[in-house]
Structure 1
Amino acid sequence: MVAWGEYKKMKDHDTSARQLMGDSFKKKIKENLHFIKLLGQVVLVTCTQKLAQRGHREGEETDNPGNVRKILKNEIICILAVMIKTEIVNEAKEAKFFSIIVDETKDVSKTEQLSLIIRYCYKENLYESFLDFKAAFQLDANALTHEILNVLKRHEIYFKANLVGQGFDGVSVMSGRHKGVAARIKQEAPFAFYVHCHAHRLNLVLVDVIKSLPDASQFFSLLEKLYVFISGSYAHAKWIDVQKELYPNEQTRQLKRLSDTRWACRYDACKVIRDRLSAVLANLDLVKAVELIETVTVQLEEMRSDPSSFDPL
């Protein structure tokens, strides 16, 4: 009877099963387009506002697994990334002439990452667009040159005559006149003139100024000694424990190592000390107390083995 009722309804409305399936398919497409648009808007908001897309814990038992599992899919992010990168590459090809900016940085897993930015003029506007990240397992000039040129080749960006500039930091492996990355790329692209990154040049000036001021020089020397001391296995474990005790609701922080070529490292190092000064002092007191106890323990053991060696005050 149900089937007959459905048949009568279709006949009365002059509707076939094929039409019903077509309408259902169109409705499904419309719903999917709506969901994709919504997910794209969420990705755009979280990225531009620098909101976390992942939760601290993402297991089934957690109430807040993060935005990725709640409202996003990694596939959507990958699709959007491909679309954006394709648009950047097409603009660069249409602009014809371009330059590159390359730098290295370590990610959270301590893997050296090579970041490549492409700079070009498109429709009378100047753009600096991120093009690619590449893990750099070898940091010699030949390997870095190979990775940089491979990125351009993979995106089919013609560089032999169209690459007119390259900007790196001033370390010898990048800026070496004869065997540096800049010199090797210029052999492949003769118009690719090298420019020492102005941000790094300003940083080198500031480093030299700091070294000429005794108080500032001593301060940053102390920061470096703190980093070396607390990076030790025993002191570092205590450093993490002290932070968890003093700042239970905040993520643990790491002290930053100073570098003459990483222009933001001094600011980062000072910021961690400012935000975790109580933990630094508590950690130093704790380590000092433990070392004192160990020293006393060793002396007591020596007294037990050789009482004559004890020298009363």
Structure 2
Amino acid sequence: MKSKQPFVYQKRKKRKPDEENRKVDAGVVDKFIHRQPVEEHTEENVEEHIEEHVEENIKEQEHVEVEETEEHEPVKELVDIYDLKALYTRTLSNLEKCDRVWIVYLNELDRVFCFCCKVFRKRISKGKLDGEGFADWHHVTTRVKKHEISLDHLTNRNKWFDMRKRLNLNKTIDKVQHEQFKKERDYWKQVLLRIIAVVKFLAKHNLAFRGSNDKLYKKVIINCNGNFFGVIEMLEEFDLIIKEHVQRITSEGLHVHYLGHLIQKELISLLDEDIKKELIKEIKKTKYYSIKLDCTPNLNHQEHMNIIVRYLKLSYNFVPIEESFFGFLNVDDTSGKGLFDITLEELNSLGLQINDMPGHGYDNGENMKGKHQGVKKRFLDINPRAFYTPCGCHSLNLTLSDMANKCVKGKNFFGFIQHIYTIFANSTKRWEILKDNVKAWSLKSLCQTRWGSRFESVKAIKLQHVDVQKALLQVGEKENDVAIASEATSPAEKELSDFEFLVSTVVWYEVLNHVNIESKKLKSKDMHLDNAIIEINKLIGYFKDYRETGFSKAIVEAKEIFIEMGIDQIFPQKRLIERKKRFDESSSSEEVSFTPEENFRGIEDKDLKLYCHRLEKALKFDERSDIDAEELCTELKLFETLETIEFSNPVDV
């Protein structure tokens, strides 16, 4: 049986190499550390002194930390409150202090590293300082002191200092490559700065970026390369950086040029994100904000909703009200719930709270301001303090729209205004005839959404009535197409020579002029709610006064114009249709009829009562009548306030 225990001479053989290696490494540190002549065993005494000093510091530190943690926190939290400042300073034996510039603390990992050993280490890591990092905070002081006197650390530190010195003197082995790298880096930096400036310029002035092709100096006129490449080509004539960049692209066939449409989109999105971040910071400083919403379809018939945020901008001297546009939102569901969900999602993405929104405003659509399912109702369910304000200009627009659409003469009047514009606009030759006769104000097409802007269309006809008539007559004479010639001559001889049409022009000119003025006031930036109420009340008062006195003034003004034209100032009178009388009906029964002026103006209260009594008298026989004049007058007044558009025939009434 062989013994499992090694013999004594075998143990001695294993111990000899370790002792020899220890003797060889004993004087290695002397190459880097200058030792002063001291008594024998000084090194051992110093090491013992350092170890004792470290142990005392650790004990004192642990004692202080334990006392603090007994009062406040458990002992497990000692690692988090360890002071790292002591590690960055080394105290020598002569009490001289020097900085440990090689120590690096990584906050994400909560570990300490040796920078020079981490970078310049060639061998396998012997300690955590030059590897995965040291995190044993109770022994970190001892470990750092042992590491900073090790041979590997001193060698790596010398390499680091030498490299830093050569980098400062620009005498590294890759000096030429480094210079080329810096030159190329600066070149691309300057190129990107100019490209970003072009993107900001086009976006600020609301100009399109791309054309039909994405190539520089495309000579085909039809296939334009767009505004972005146009600005780059213009800068190439004056800027040396862009000139060199364009030469690289055209001569060398450079593929990475940062001028493509994908780069343009990326730069726009990056700028958009930065602008939004800055705006959100400003909004959150004042906490409260309000929003405005509006929907409109684009050219592709895709419904878009824009969102505008109003807020106060803090300043020392003045606190202005700012409005910031946050973009268009794609809308697939135009119901109240669909619009509310999209708005709520956008506010959450911007980091804005609905509870901080004291106001919201939009148009008077049923899906927006509905009492049960509208966007307003859903916002008020979450924040009852959110004050809803309808769009004042849109309310005026609806008022004018209802005024014109419920009046047959009003609808016919605006239809004729648009017809005159269409006659001239459909041909360049006819438009030249118009410009030869009409010098001051050109004809304008009617706007279907903003009724206040129709003032410009009526203004051109009212102030240039004679000139427009002459232009239509010339079109009728010079036009070869018989149908178009008749279409131009007919309104010149009939409608423009009609006293009723001229009175309508004067009336609508005055009404639209006042509405247009008030609409512009309501859109002004310095308009406040109390001032808006005052202006609306003024407009209501104007309508009441004009209802009483405006018609007579319009008649006088229209007569003055017709005197200049040499035309009779009378309303056209339609042929009176007489009703056949029954055999038992007396000849004294009176027919109720109105004058042409009354037909145009409408019936006032006193006239309505008079006509009701006349009708009662006409239907009276043997002191009995089928109606009561007073009751009929009251019912007709009440009937005026109803939605008469629902009644299409007498049976419905």
Shorter-normalised TM-score: what interval?
Answer: 0.5 to 0.7
RMSD: 4.5
Residue 263 of structure 1 aligns with which residue? 450
Residue 178 of structure 1 aligns with which residue? 372
Identical amino acids, percent of aligned pairs: 25
1:29 and 1:59, CA in 2 relative to 1: closer, same or farther beyond 3 A? closer
Q: How many angstroms apart in 1 are the aligned matches of 2:176 and 2:417?
A: 73
Residue 239 of structure 1 aligns with which residue? none
Q: 1:44 aligns with which of 190, 200, 209?
A: 200
Residue 195 of structure 1 aligns with which residue? 389
Q: How many angstroms apart in 2 are the aligned matches of 1:114 and 1:283?
A: 46
Q: Tell me, which stretches of 5 or more residues in structure 1 are unaligned?
A: 1-12, 227-241, 248-255, 271-277, 287-313
1:225 and 1:164, CA in 2 relative to 1: closer, same or farther beyond 3 A? farther
Alignment deviations for residues 169-212 of structure 1 (CA, whole Å, 9 cap, x no partner): 00111001222111101112222211101221232233345457
Considering Cα pairs closer than 8 Å and 6+ residues apart, tell me whether 1 or 2 has the greater RCO: 1
Residue 251 of structure 1 aligns with which residue? none
Q: Are 1:39 and 1:76, in contact at CA under 8 Å, matched by a contact in 2?
A: no
Counterpart AA for 1:58: N
Q: Are 1:68 and 1:74, in contact at CA under 8 Å, matched by a contact in 2?
A: no
Asked if residue 150 in structure 1 is aligned to residue 305 in structure 2, the reply is no
1:213 and 1:36, CA in 2 relative to 1: closer, same or farther beyond 3 A? farther
Asked if residue 132 in structure 1 is aligned to residue 349 in structure 2, the reply is no
Q: How many angstroms apart in 2 are the aligned matches of 1:118 and 1:150?
A: 15
Counterpart AA for 1:65: N
Of the two, which has the highest radius of gyration?
2
Counterpart AA for 1:121: L
Alignment deviations for residues 190-238 of structure 1 (CA, whole Å, 9 cap, x no partner): 2221110122123223334545787653243458899xxxxxxxxxxxx
Q: How many angstroms apart in 1 are the aligned matches of 2:271 and 2:482?
A: 48
Asked if residue 115 in structure 1 is aligned to residue 306 in structure 2, the reply is yes
Q: How many angstroms apart in 2 are the aligned matches of 1:215 and 1:30?
A: 72
Alignment of 1:93-112 (within 5 A): 93-112=284-303
1:96 and 1:48, CA in 2 relative to 1: closer, same or farther beyond 3 A? same
Give 1:136 deviation, angstroms.
0.6
Instruction: Name the SS for the 2:358 alignment partner.
Output: strand
Alignment of 1:1-313 (within 5 A): 15-55=171-211, 57-58=212-213, 63=220, 64-70=224-230, 71=232, 73-123=264-314, 124-159=319-354, 161-211=355-405, 217-221=411-415, 259=448, 262-263=449-450
Give 1:128 deviation, angstroms.
0.6
1:265 and 1:151, CA in 2 relative to 1: closer, same or farther beyond 3 A? farther
1:19 and 1:92, CA in 2 relative to 1: closer, same or farther beyond 3 A? farther
Give 1:139 deviation, angstroms.
0.6
Counterpart AA for 2:373: K
Q: Are 1:98 and 1:163, in contact at CA under 8 Å, matched by a contact in 2?
A: yes
1:109 and 1:122, CA in 2 relative to 1: closer, same or farther beyond 3 A? same
Q: How many angstroms apart in 2 are the aligned matches of 1:282 and 1:180?
A: 56
TM-score of the aligned structures, taking structure 2 as reference length:
0.33
Give 1:99 deviation, angstroms.
0.5
Q: Are 2:401 and 2:451, in contact at CA under 8 Å, matched by a contact in 1?
A: no
Residue 310 of structure 1 aligns with which residue? none
Counterpart AA for 2:339: L
Give 1:90 deviation, angstroms.
1.9
Q: Are 2:292 and 2:307, in contact at CA under 8 Å, matched by a contact in 1?
A: yes
Q: How many angstroms apart in 1 are the aligned matches of 2:395 and 2:357?
A: 23
Give 1:46 deviation, angstroms.
2.6
Counterpart AA for 2:228: V
1:208 and 1:264, CA in 2 relative to 1: closer, same or farther beyond 3 A? closer
1:19 and 1:213, CA in 2 relative to 1: closer, same or farther beyond 3 A? farther
Q: Are 1:102 and 1:167, in contact at CA under 8 Å, matched by a contact in 2?
A: yes
TM-score of the aligned structures, taking structure 1 as reference length:
0.63
Q: How many angstroms apart in 1 are the aligned matches of 2:277 and 2:418?
A: 44
Instruction: Name the SS for the 1:196 alignment partner.
Output: coil
Q: Are 1:257 and 1:265, in contact at CA under 8 Å, matched by a contact in 2?
A: no
Instruction: Point out the more displaced range, 180-189 or 35-44.
Output: 35-44
Alignment deviations for residues 3-26 of structure 1 (CA, whole Å, 9 cap, x no partner): xxxxxxxxxx96324444444444
Alignment deviations for residues 62-84 of structure 1 (CA, whole Å, 9 cap, x no partner): 64310234546232222212211
Alignment deviations for residues 86-106 of structure 1 (CA, whole Å, 9 cap, x no partner): 211222122210000000011
